[in-house]
Amino acid sequence: MVGAGTNTAMEARKLRVVLYPSPGMGHLVSMIELGKHFAARGLAVTVALIDSPHDTSATDPFLTGVSAANPSISFHRLPQVELLRSEPPVMLTFEVVRLSNTHLRDFLAGDSPAVIVLDFFCGAAIGVAEELGIPAYFFCASGAQILAFFLHLPVLHGKSTRSFGEMGQELVHAPGIPSFPATHAIQRLMDRDSVPYKAFLNMSTNLFRSQGIIVNTFRLLEPRAMDTIVAALCAPSRLRTPPVYSIGPMIKSEEVGMKRGDECLAWLDTQPKGSVVFLSFGSLGRFSAKQTRKVAAGLEASGQRFLWVVRSPPSADSSKNSEKPPEPDLDALLPQGFLESVRIKHDIVLLVRYGLGGSYRVGLVLLGIA
């Protein structure tokens, strides 16, 4: 029989991993799933939580469920930082990560972890890890293609003095991913002289300072992108591509007290295999009314079954976009006659509240066949 004192000693000898997710529910959920993999292999896991500038109404219930189901995963909240100016949501994320470096340094210096795993958007923290001599890895929850693009962004930046916004329909070529018109690039990358562009470029270059990159995919799903990354064909010639570890697919597990979107799952179970288009753009994925109408028009023209998480448009006042969004007004957002058209064609449009991590957020899920 092993005594309590022995258990405590064994726990103390466990290698400790610190996970550092960026603000945003989707990033937190993905990072905690990664933590469960580490914990299952006997590692002690601590999640360092940044004080989020975004709506956090779903965060506490989610963390409560995780703690109840996974006692081997602990949480440490970093002190709040003061944001001195209003920023778009993505820039708020970069800024709060940068401002949290002092608090992260203090925490890591006392905790002495063996490794820190940084969220894709937490590149500003890699200098802290380097200063303390802690090996740092990045975690990309979005798959290999987006990783391939950002590994190649410094190359694209160095090859041209033009912004994506100046290139029009000219194709952008990046190893490992299909070519795409420059107009389809991420909106925040359109102006190479803008603060957001420079933040993303800095994020890309920080990837090469890490000891490795963990990506939520598997080779059979994205063979072209994975093979290109591993062959170091995405990176600038002057930089070393870190080792890349594909660990996907990671699927969110049920937590104590959580409830899945049963209505959505029940509807999906009645549809033919591989027939449903799923549209969901994350906790910060909010589109203008014009963009939402274009998505609806495309769905209707496609005739495909769909499951679409519809969220209200961002506020014209950017300072309010970190607040909990209002419930979307579908009559105002969607093209005239869209809802009725879907109802007539296939008799089902089910509107429910649905939340990432099983907790509810403001947003509507539209189920149907266009």
What string of H, E and C letters represents the secondary structure of 203-260? Answer: HHHHHCCCCEEEECCCCCCCHHHHHHHHCCCCCCCCCCCCCEEECCCCCCCCCCCCCC
pLDDT of residue 55: 57
The amino acid occupying position 277 is V
pLDDT of residue 305: 82
pLDDT bracket for residue 358 (50, 70, 90): very low
Mean pLDDT of 190-195: 94
**Averaged pLDDT score across all residues of the chain:** 81
Q: Which of the 8 DSSP states describes residue 277?
A: E
Give the Cβ contact number of residue 40 at 10 Å: 11
pTM here is 0.74
Higher-confidence residue: 299 or 223?
223
Catalytic residues: 27, 119
Domains of the chain in sequence order: 4-246 (3.40.50.2000), 262-369 (3.40.50.2000)
Neighbour-count burial of 280, counting CB atoms closer than 10 A to its CB (0-12 exposed, 13-18 middle, 19+ buried):
middle
Of 27-41, 112-126, 291-305, 346-360, minimum mean pLDDT range? 346-360
pLDDT bracket for residue 316 (50, 70, 90): low
pLDDT of residue 153: 96
Higher-confidence residue: 153 or 297?
153
Distances (CA, A) of 298 to 138, 287, 335, 343: 35, 15, 11, 17
pLDDT of residue 140: 94
Of 99-113, 116-130, 261-275, 307-321, minimum mean pLDDT range? 307-321
Of 93-107, 238-252, 274-288, minimum mean pLDDT range? 274-288
Are 310 and 292 in contact by the 8 Å Cβ rule? The answer is yes
Mean pLDDT of 90-108: 91
pLDDT bracket for residue 262 (50, 70, 90): low
Looking at the chain, how many residues does it have?
370
Residues 186, 98, 202, 320, Cα dihedral to 10°: 20
Higher-confidence residue: 238 or 355?
238
Q: Which residue matches tokens 């930082």? A: 81
